[in-house]
Each structure stands twice: as structure tokens, then as C-alpha cells.
Structure 1
Amino acid sequence: MSLEFGLAIENHHVAFSGFFILICTCIIPFLYLRTSSHPKPAKPNNLFARGPKQFKASRTAVKVDAEWTSTRELEFYKELYFKLQNLEEHSDTIPIARQAFLVLLSQALEDYVKAPDTNILSIKHFDKEELARFLQSHQDDVTARYHQYISRRQLGGPRELFQDRQEAGNWLREIAPLKLVDGAWLGHLNKITMPFSLRQIVKQTWQVFTEELGNGNRDQHHVKVFEDLLGEFEPELPSPTTKAILHPRYKLGSLKYWRAAVAQLLVALFPQEFLPEILGFNMHFEALQLDTMQAAKELPEVRLNAYYFLLHVSIDNSHSGHAAMAMESAADYIQHVAETEGQVAAEVAWKRIQAGYIFSEWQAQKGNQTTNILALLNEDSCDRLESKVLAIFGSKVQAAHRLHCGSRVKMGKRSLNEWLDPEAFSSEEWQLGFLRCLSTCKPWVYAGDSQKSKLIQELQWGGKMYGSFTKSELETLELWINTLGYDRNPFYYSFIAPATDSLCQASDSDTEKNVDSVLAVANNIETSSLLPGNQLGKDANLNLPLLFPLWFTQCCLLESFLYAPGRTSDKIGCAVVRFLRAQSGFEAEDMIVTGTDEPRMAENGGIVEFGLEMIRRASLPTPQGLNDLLSRWPSEFATTMLKLASSPIQNFGFLLGMSMAFLELQETLSEFPNSGLLCPKSRERLSSLVRRQYQCLQVCLQEIPTGDARHSDFNRGYGMAKAEIHRCSGSTV
């Protein structure tokens, strides 16, 4: 029976409903008796697999299926919400999180390209003035609708978000998941591993984040302000970083707001890879929204505190507030890319900023629709391919053991021989690290192009490893390389075409030039790295190859503590916010936010800027980033610091102790002018930053209860760092 014929019958139901019901009453028992003795056909997996007759299923059944899909999707987002705020315990979530981000981002883009003239896609090529006009037009539209809303209210119209206090409470519960991670879209941004050339752009954007966290003032912390408001309905509300917050008893949120909250956590997760998308997301999210203005008016009418919403009307303003800062950051980034990578790369960067903007807007406008994300994730074969690739290499390590000991090939910080050590390769974490490094190791692997990849060439006839992999193993490797980056979400990658390497990274040619310049001074490093006189040891020499890795890497110690805003609203969290602000060179906190008044030049430099000054004054080539610096001056202790810092909650005591030891190093360099590494003005500023950091660490220590194991961890961390810092004095090693 065709679909058209089925629909025709359905139309006849209206005219002959009584007759049809009578026939059904007679026939259904007969059919049941006839078919009950036969096995039932397997239930199709999806709508598109159903035969034409099955389209006549009742609307009730379709509704139940939709509700079931929505419920499963909601539970998926709630679980992800928890895990993304507790990453050190759920690091295995990162691959699926990246996949989910790209699935949602691609769907948002597909929806928006259907009408490009009605959204930010109407700006075909970046132009700052055109962007400013577009954003102003958005604000004008919002304020015009607000004016109409006020006119309706003045004429006696009812409240439009909610009618009474109970409905207001329900509305606040609904939006709660989103508000309880306020600022999270920038939570992973200010990392020492970001390229140094992007420091100023990242710093300006990260300032928005710290202001969302009240700049370390607990009473001004946005999550805390919203928690206090919600507490009028749920006085025992658990922290948004705990699993308890997911319990249905709290009746928090709908699919739209759980997904929007997860979107914030997802977009923040990969700042190295998706910085343009973060900047675009930030630009939309900080724009004025109608429901924020309506809530600011209606909540007091039902005797509830509206300050959270008033705060966002004012602090997000487009003149000196977050909206203005967000647009400037995006424009600065485009300019940076154009200057360093060329106009084609800048056009790609603009598309990626547009993608991030759309991703935020899509959450707000179309967030109620289900995305069937679970099916999309399950259909993806990349994870299975990765498992097969790891299984292939795992089966080879014994046969290849020590065969590559003469190879100079390095992936990341390890040689090929080290990666393929059988004992080390038995670790799942090691295997994932190997695969991650291999997938980005040019010329061995070019994502999306197996035939260009040297790995495949060496495994084929004429290559040095011909015969070491079977035909099926080689085909698996080729398929894996060809699907890298493109298979999961082809629409996103086609949207940002022409595809380039991550725009956060330096180009290959720039890297090669920098490596050459480093090698050019390699023979002179032993003499140029020794500068006399400092507190590390009287009449001792300062060993710069040991000092520089420690100086820059110290910035990692507490930076990951902030990525979940809900964990930063207590005294310890607020102290860490202030500590990191000082370390980044922000001015001392005030009760009034600085907004765009925060100085943007070198005079408000922080630890990184002082390190770069020391390198310049030592007449050494400027590194592009921490990875570049550590490849020039390897430091096992710096690597240890990075590893400890990746688990900021578990290792909090160690990290505090290490931070305290590095304050003493900072104080040494700020107080002794004969080191010659910093100019007088920089030493004076560093001294001021040391005092601010010290006060913050003292608050953290005072808040840790007596007898807590973190106190002993503090002493151990302090001792470890102090001993390593002491090695910076003396002869070169």
C-alpha cells in the first residue's frame, strides 16, 4: 500500500468514522488471534527504516516516541553537565565532548545557512564597521521590542514571562542550569599553553570571565547572586558541580536550558583548537537579550530580587561593558590572523567567529527542538576506527621493540622508540596520547589525506616499512587518516572552507624559522645563560635554561581551578580568581568593574610578559609559546607541574605549596637589580603583584581546616618547588 493511499484512507476516517470503528471492533480480535502464533518482526531502529504501512501509527505513539527521545537526550546533557565540571575525574569524557560539540555546531550552522541574509552570515567578509552596525541593529531590535513590551504593560497588559510568584519560581528553575554555569564558555581560555602572540586578545576576553566571577568578590559572583535568588525556593540547593544537582527533586531546567548550559561547557573545552568559535560565542552571549530586561522588571512585581538580571543589563553594555569587549576581541583576532597568516586565513577565521556566534544564538532561538544527538553520536565510526588503529599498533610493539632506537623521529616530546615501548604502551592513557600526537604529526600524518601522509608512503612498496603491516591493517590506517577531522561533522568543515590548520597555531614556515633562530644561538647558550648575583645563592650564577621553563610553567599551577564557575563562589575560589588576575597582570580589584578601561599595553604585564622581557634582555630568541620554549629547554619538573595542574582539586595542596615557592622566586627577581633581567619599572610592578598573590594564597591556607591533608600537601609541594628553584643557581647542566 502506498503512502498516498494510506493518507487517503486516513481522510475517509472523518466521513466514515463510526463505520470504521465498527469494522475495527470485529477485525482486530481476528487479526490478533491470527498473528499471535507468528514471531513478531524486529522493530525498526528509526523512522526512515519503516515500511509505508507503518506511517499510519497513531499520533499518540509518535508523541510517546518524541517524548522518549527528548527524555533520553535530556539525561545525556545532564550527565555531560556534571562530567564537564569535574573533568579530572572524567577525562574520558573529552573525546565524546568534542564530538558532541561538533555535532551541535554543525546542526546550528545548517539551520542558519538556510536564511543567511537574516543573521550574521549576511556579513560575507569581515569589516569592523559593518560588524558594529550589525550588533547595533540587534540591540535596536531588542530595545524596540522592550519598548513595545513596556507600552503594553503601561496599558494594563499582564506580565509576560510569568503571572505570579509561583510561576516566577518555575521559570527560574527552568533556566537554572544555564545560569549556574554563568561564564563557563570562557572557563578554559587563559592557559599558559596558548600562543604568546595571542596573550593580549586572550587576556581581554578572559577579563569578561573574571568579571562574571565577581573579580574574586564573593558578593558580586554571578553564580552566587543567582544561587541566592534560587535559594528562596530551594534553600538546600546543592552546588552545580555536584551530581546531586541533577536529581529530579529540584525540578531544574528543561531540555533547552540543559543543552544551552552544556553548550557553554563544550565550546570552552578546546581553546587551542576553537578559539575563534569561543570569541564568536562570547560576542553573541554578551549581547542584550529581551527576556533579561523583562525579568528585571517582572521579578520585583512578585517580590523577588531582580539584581541578577539588572546586573546583566548593565555589565553587558555595548559601550564599555562585556558586549563592547567581546566585539573588540573578535576584531583584534581577525587583525592578528591577517597580519600573521594572511588574508585567506583571516577570512576563514571570520567564518569560524560567525560559527561561534550562531552556535550561541541557535541555543537561544531554537533550543526547544530535539537534535537526536545520541543517534548522531552512535552513527559515528571514528571511535571504532581509533580503537582498531590502537589495536594494530598494540599488536606490533613487541615485534618493533628497539627497532626504532636509531630513529630521530619525534612525536610531541617523545621519540618513536619511546612511544612504542611495550610496557608503556600497555597504558590506555599512553595509547591515547600516542594516537593524539600521531594524528597531528606532520609530515607523517596529514589529516584527511592519507596518500600525502609519509606514514602511509613508508608502509607501501618502496617504503622503509613495507611489509610490516598487512593489507587490511594498511587500509584501516588509510581510512583513519582520511576521516581525521572531516568525517564527524563534514558540514562544519565545509562551512569554514578553505580548511587550514588551527589558527591558534603558528604556520609551519613560521615554526621552521623560529627553530632555525633557536638553533643559531644554541652554541652560545652556556655563556649567555649565566647572569651573576641573586638571592638564590650569594655570588651564584642564574641558570636561564633551568629558570625559564619554571618561570613560564608556574602560571599553570592554579589556572585550571576556575573552569567550573560553580566551584569558585566560596572564599577559596574567589581567592584563586584574585591570584590569577594578579598573575595575569590585571589591576587590583575594585568594587566597580573596569570594563574597557583596563589598560591594554605592556605596562599591565604579568608573569608571562616579565618572562618574555627576561628572554629579550638575555638576547635570546622569543619563543612562540610554552611548547616551543620547553622543546628548546626541556624540563622534567615543568612537565610534572603541568600534570599536577591538570587535577586542580585533587592536587590543590601541592599546587598551593608550589605557588608559594614561586612567589619567593618572583620576589628575588623583583628585589635584586643586579640580576639584570628586568628593568626597574618591571621589578617594581612585579613586587606589587607578589604581594597581591601572597595575600590570596594566605586566604586559601586559612580556609583549609586544621588537620586537612592539604596542609601536608602544601608543605611537600613547597619543598619540591623550592628544591627545583634552587637548582637554577650554579653551573649550567
Structure 2
Amino acid sequence: MTLPASRNAATSYREHCATRDLYNALLRSPERHLEAAAEFLEGHLQARDNGEDDLPADPQRWPDWLANRAERSASAYADYLRERREGAPRRHFHSRAHALHFLQAVAPTKRVDGAWLHGILHHWSDPRLLPLVHTCLEELGHGIPARNHVLIYQRLLDSLGCDAPLELSDAHYLQGALQLALGYLADDYLPEVLGYNLGYEVPPLHLMITSYELRELGIDPEYFRLHVTIDNAASGHGRKALQALTAFLPQVADVEHFLHRAHRGYRLNDAGLSNRQILDGFDLHGEVIAMLERKRPFAQQMHDDRARIGGQTVNQWLAVPGRMGEFLAALERQGWIKRHQAPVHSRLWNLVAGDKAAMFGVFTPYERQLLHDWIAGDWSEPAARNPWRGNDKGAADAAPARSEFAAEERALLNELSTLAPRSRLHRLVALMAPHSHWTPAGLLATRIYTDKLGIEP
């Protein structure tokens, strides 16, 4: 796909469509939005043409660079553990609600995990790209539902009551949109895909800290722990990324141009919001008010007028937008909320929590966690609530009823039997796309593709 060189692609795209809209469009019907994806991707790449990064200019230095990056992360994590043993507070999450908010805020990227490598699957016969084919298949769990990264993350959100998406900014969707664009345009942007992949697969310190602190807060860290292990620089995705990038150098006529493109792809990892920005952007008080404001229109005229808070009925408080902060303050003044104490001492909390609570079911688990942690404030519980246990997976991992999904799989097998070998491969790869690899047909396609390559899951 050729784009006019003089066109400011990023500006052109922003005039017509938001990043979130492109993200959703590429998940729904990617083939109809490839031109928009190319404009979007080219604009962000052009913006990084003259940027700087820490990837050495000399490819001979790349192995040492990768080893040093891994060593620095390991050393920094050891320092973190020592600080925690000496009494330092958590570095990422102030509360369980903070962690749940983070998990939802990064979900647009996690829901397309591995998407940037999708286009590589068409080139399984090129030995230079085979390491990245292996990487992509591992992201897809080799077609095994319990190993598929997107399904692992979705199960995590579902288990935490975080299945209703937050209202997020376009910046939250930027990395996911870039990954989708790279995956669908890999044939036109292979050097950029290789460079991006190298930057993404080097295990950063924040993954290790996130895994550690989620476990502390009683949240299953499997998704993050998994990426700490498979992205290792010795034998994992980090090493495979370097192998693939290095393998293309001797065959490229214009090495300097290739390296320039690989570097700007590498720099795409810095686009959008960083994990630190997402963590620092959490305001518990503001989130509680925003949550109550979202629920306010549905709660109007749903309360009786017996109780008066600050001289007004609950219905009167809920009748006008923008008053939830005042309402919380009035509840606190009147003793319905006792901040910085165990929430069980607050009358409002007892109306919300518990199977027999008067407002049972009104708030989602995430919304209750927001309210709980805001009431608790400086108070901390003597022991962790609801601790996660690694050997207790629960019903979420149960195998789907075969009667519900077998028909879809049978239909795919019947379809494949009518296709020529090359067409079968293209059909399999199409089903392994970001919008469908986690479905029953997509998982079966991944298993068949994996078997064709003779890869041991």
C-alpha cells in the first residue's frame, strides 16, 4: 500500500476518526479499514523518524544490550524486594481498587496481545521469521484456551467483576491500535514490526512488580507472571525477537535504511500512556464520585423519602447532576460514612455489601471495591481479603460444553476439507486474527496451524 509522501498521515487520520474508533473498527472488520490503519501507523512512525532510543546503532552490540537490559531489570527487582522486606509500601498499587482500575485501564492493549505479529503467520516457511511465528503461537496459547493470553486476561477481569469497560481516553487505546495496524500491515512494515517486537518483548521491571503486588492484593497474577517468564532474554520472546531482527540484516541491500525503520518501530513502544502514567492517573475520590454520577440517573425516584441527608431526601440529591461530591460529604457529616475506619462500621457500606444488604446487586464488585477502599482510607485490614490461591482456578477454567461449540468446529473442519493446501493455510491464519483467535473456531485453527508446523505446545 503506497501513501502520498507529502501527506501528514497522523493529522489526516485524526480529522476523520478517533483512535478508539479505529481500534474497534480493526477488531470488527479489519479488511475495510486498512487504508485508515496505514495512515494512522505512518503518521506515528513519521513522528519518530528523528527520535532517539536506547537500542544501539551497531547491530553487533545488540546481544550485549539485551543481556544488560535483562540484568538491570533483575537487579532493580532485587532492590525492590529488599525495600519491601524492610517495610517499604507497595510501589504500584495503593489499594485493591487501584489495582482493579489499572487492570481495566490497560485492557485495550491486553485484549489484542500478540496482534502485531499476526501478519508474520503468513510467512511460516521463511526460517528468518520462524522464531516470531513461535512467539505469536505462544501468545495465542497454541489454541489451548487455558493458555491463550487474551482469554487469560478476560477471565481475570471477569473473575474480579470488571467486565463492564471503563470510560477510557483515546490515549488508552493507542498502543492497541498500533499493534493491530502493525499486525495487518506487516508485509508493508516488516522492519518496523521487527523493531517494535524487540522493544515489546524485553521484560520490563514493571511486569515483575505488578505480578508481586497483585498477589499481595489477592488478585491472580498469572497473566503478568506468564509474561515475566516467556519474555526472558535467554531463551524466551526477547531472544527470539533479536534472532529475527538480526537474521534479516545480511539480506537487506540498504542496511542503513532498514535499521532506520527498525529503530522507529522500536520507538513505537513509547507511544501512548506509560504504565506509570496510568498508575499515577488514578484518583480514588474522583473515581468514587464519577461512579456514583454514572449510576445517579438510574437511581432517581428509586428511594423513599423517610431518610433525610443534610436536610434533603436521597431522591433530591440524585435529581441534579454534579452533586455527588456534596452528597458524600453530607453522608459523612451525618455519620452514614465513617472514613478511615473498617467499612463495616459505616451504615452506607452495610446497605451495599452482603447478600442480605438492602442494596444488594446495585453495585458491581469493582464499584463496591472503590467505595470500600475510599471509606477505609488510612485504615488497613489485619489480613488480606479474598486471597488468591494458585491451585484454585474455579469455574472460569471449566471446559466449555461441547454441545455448544462442537458445531462451529465441525463446520470449520468441513470447510477446510474442501480447500486447496494454500487456501487452507490462508483460512487458518484469517481465523487466528486478533478479533477471532480466542473463539472456538479460532482456537481450533490455531491448533491445526500449530500441528502443521510440528510444534510441541
TM category (shorter chain) comes to 0.5 to 0.7
Question: Larger radius of gyration, structure 1 or 2?
Answer: 1
Q: CA 1:210 to 1:289, structure 2 compared with 1: closer, same or farther past 3 Å?
A: same
8 Å CA contact retained: 1:168, 1:299:
yes
Q: Which residue of 2 aligns with 1:350?
A: 259
Please give the alpha-carbon distance, in whole angstroms, between the structure 2 residues aligned to 1:183 and 1:333.
21
Please give the alpha-carbon distance, in whole angstroms, between the structure 1 residues aligned to 2:46 and 2:80.
34
- What amino acid maps onto 1:265 in structure 2? L
Q: Which residue of 2 aligns with 1:80?
A: 22
Shift in Å at residue 568 of structure 1?
A: 2.0
The equivalences for 1:161-176 within 5 A come to: 161-176=92-107
Shift in Å at residue 367 of structure 1?
A: 9.8
Shift in Å at residue 109 of structure 1?
A: 3.6
Shift in Å at residue 254 of structure 1?
A: 4.5
Q: Which residue of 2 aligns with 1:301?
A: 216
Q: CA 1:367 to 1:267, structure 2 compared with 1: closer, same or farther past 3 Å?
A: farther
8 Å CA contact retained: 1:126, 1:347:
no
1:96 aligns with 2:5: no
Shift in Å at residue 368 of structure 1?
A: 6.2
Q: Which residue of 2 aligns with 1:562?
A: 432
8 Å CA contact retained: 2:70, 2:232:
no
Q: Which residue of 2 aligns with 1:619?
A: none
Q: CA 1:284 to 1:232, structure 2 compared with 1: closer, same or farther past 3 Å?
A: same
Shift in Å at residue 353 of structure 1?
A: 1.7
Please give the alpha-carbon distance, in whole angstroms, between the structure 1 residues aligned to 2:250 and 2:273.
29
* Secondary structure of 2:242 counterpart: helix
- What amino acid maps onto 1:586 in structure 2? G
Please give the alpha-carbon distance, in whole angstroms, between the structure 2 residues aligned to 1:139 and 1:168.
25
Deviations 1:670-697 (A, max 9, x none): xxxxxxxxxxxxxxxxxxxxxxxxxxxx
Please give the alpha-carbon distance, in whole angstroms, between the structure 2 residues aligned to 1:224 and 1:554.
25
* Secondary structure of 1:272 counterpart: coil
8 Å CA contact retained: 1:205, 1:325:
yes
Please give the alpha-carbon distance, in whole angstroms, between the structure 2 residues aligned to 1:97 and 1:103.
10
* Residue segments in structure 2 that go unaligned for 5+ positions in a row: 1-10, 279-418
1:228 aligns with 2:185: no
- What amino acid maps onto 1:84 in structure 2? L
Taking only the aligned residue pairs, the percentage that are identical comes to: 24
- What amino acid maps onto 1:102 in structure 2? E
Please give the alpha-carbon distance, in whole angstroms, between the structure 1 residues aligned to 2:430 and 2:423.
13
Shift in Å at residue 349 of structure 1?
A: 1.8
- What amino acid maps onto 1:223 in structure 2? V
Q: CA 1:365 to 1:201, structure 2 compared with 1: closer, same or farther past 3 Å?
A: same
* Secondary structure of 2:126 counterpart: helix
Please give the alpha-carbon distance, in whole angstroms, between the structure 1 residues aligned to 2:45 and 2:436.
27
8 Å CA contact retained: 1:77, 1:262:
yes
Deviations 1:596-628 (A, max 9, x none): xxxxxxxxxxxxxxxxxxxxxxxxxxxxxxxxx
Please give the alpha-carbon distance, in whole angstroms, between the structure 2 residues aligned to 1:252 and 1:335.
47
Please give the alpha-carbon distance, in whole angstroms, between the structure 1 residues aligned to 2:116 and 2:269.
10
8 Å CA contact retained: 2:70, 2:202:
yes
The equivalences for 1:372-387 within 5 A come to: none
Of residues 94, 113, 124 in structure 1, which corresponds to 2:57?
Answer: 124
The equivalences for 1:32-111 within 5 A come to: 76-87=18-29, 91=32, 93-110=33-50
1:144 aligns with 2:12: no
Shift in Å at residue 168 of structure 1?
A: 0.9
The equivalences for 1:491-530 within 5 A come to: none
* Secondary structure of 1:200 counterpart: coil
Please give the alpha-carbon distance, in whole angstroms, between the structure 2 residues aligned to 1:275 and 1:147.
36
Q: Which residue of 2 aligns with 1:575?
A: 444
8 Å CA contact retained: 1:176, 1:252:
no
The equivalences for 1:713-732 within 5 A come to: none
8 Å CA contact retained: 1:177, 1:253:
no
Please give the alpha-carbon distance, in whole angstroms, between the structure 2 residues aligned to 1:74 and 1:306.
39
Shift in Å at residue 139 of structure 1?
A: 2.1
Please give the alpha-carbon distance, in whole angstroms, between the structure 2 residues aligned to 1:251 and 1:365.
18
Q: Which residue of 1 aligns with 2:364?
A: none
Q: CA 1:293 to 1:255, structure 2 compared with 1: closer, same or farther past 3 Å?
A: farther
Shift in Å at residue 577 of structure 1?
A: 0.3
* Secondary structure of 1:124 counterpart: coil
- What amino acid maps onto 2:118 in structure 1? G
Please give the alpha-carbon distance, in whole angstroms, between the structure 2 residues aligned to 1:213 and 1:234.
24
Deviations 1:490-521 (A, max 9, x none): xxxxxxxxxxxxxxxxxxxxxxxxxxxxxxxx
Q: Which residue of 2 aligns with 1:694?
A: none
Q: Which residue of 2 aligns with 1:177?
A: 108
Deviations 1:267-319 (A, max 9, x none): 22212111111111111111111211111100111111001111000011111
Shift in Å at residue 188 of structure 1?
A: 2.2
The equivalences for 1:150-549 within 5 A come to: 150-191=81-122, 199-234=126-161, 237=163, 250-251=165-166, 253-337=168-252, 342=253, 345-363=254-272, 365=274
Shift in Å at residue 219 of structure 1?
A: 0.4
- What amino acid maps onto 2:436 in structure 1? R
- What amino acid maps onto 2:43 in structure 1? V
- What amino acid maps onto 1:580 in structure 2? Y
- What amino acid maps onto 2:77 in structure 1? Y
Please give the alpha-carbon distance, in whole angstroms, between the structure 2 residues aligned to 1:319 and 1:554.
35
Q: CA 1:135 to 1:270, structure 2 compared with 1: closer, same or farther past 3 Å?
A: same
Deviations 1:392-426 (A, max 9, x none): xxxxxxxxxxxxxxxxxxxxxxxxxxxxxxxxxxx
Please give the alpha-carbon distance, in whole angstroms, between the structure 1 residues aligned to 2:147 and 2:102.
23
* Residue segments in structure 1 that go unaligned for 5+ positions in a row: 1-68, 238-248, 370-548, 591-733
Shift in Å at residue 363 of structure 1?
A: 4.5
* Secondary structure of 2:59 counterpart: coil
8 Å CA contact retained: 1:267, 1:278:
yes
8 Å CA contact retained: 2:431, 2:441:
no
Deviations 1:154-209 (A, max 9, x none): 22111121122111111111111111111011112222xx5x9x711223212101
Higher relative contact order (CA 8 A, sep 6+): 2
TM-score normalised by structure 2 residue count: 0.61
Shift in Å at residue 228 of structure 1?
A: 1.3
Q: CA 1:136 to 1:359, structure 2 compared with 1: closer, same or farther past 3 Å?
A: same
Please give the alpha-carbon distance, in whole angstroms, between the structure 1 residues aligned to 2:135 and 2:215.
27
Please give the alpha-carbon distance, in whole angstroms, between the structure 1 residues aligned to 2:46 and 2:67.
27
Deviations 1:200-248 (A, max 9, x none): 122321210110011111001111111111113336x3xxxxxxxxxxx
Please give the alpha-carbon distance, in whole angstroms, between the structure 2 residues aligned to 1:180 and 1:259.
13
8 Å CA contact retained: 1:255, 1:368:
no
8 Å CA contact retained: 2:207, 2:227:
yes
Please give the alpha-carbon distance, in whole angstroms, between the structure 1 residues aligned to 2:167 and 2:140.
22
- What amino acid maps onto 2:181 in structure 1? L
Q: CA 1:220 to 1:253, structure 2 compared with 1: closer, same or farther past 3 Å?
A: farther
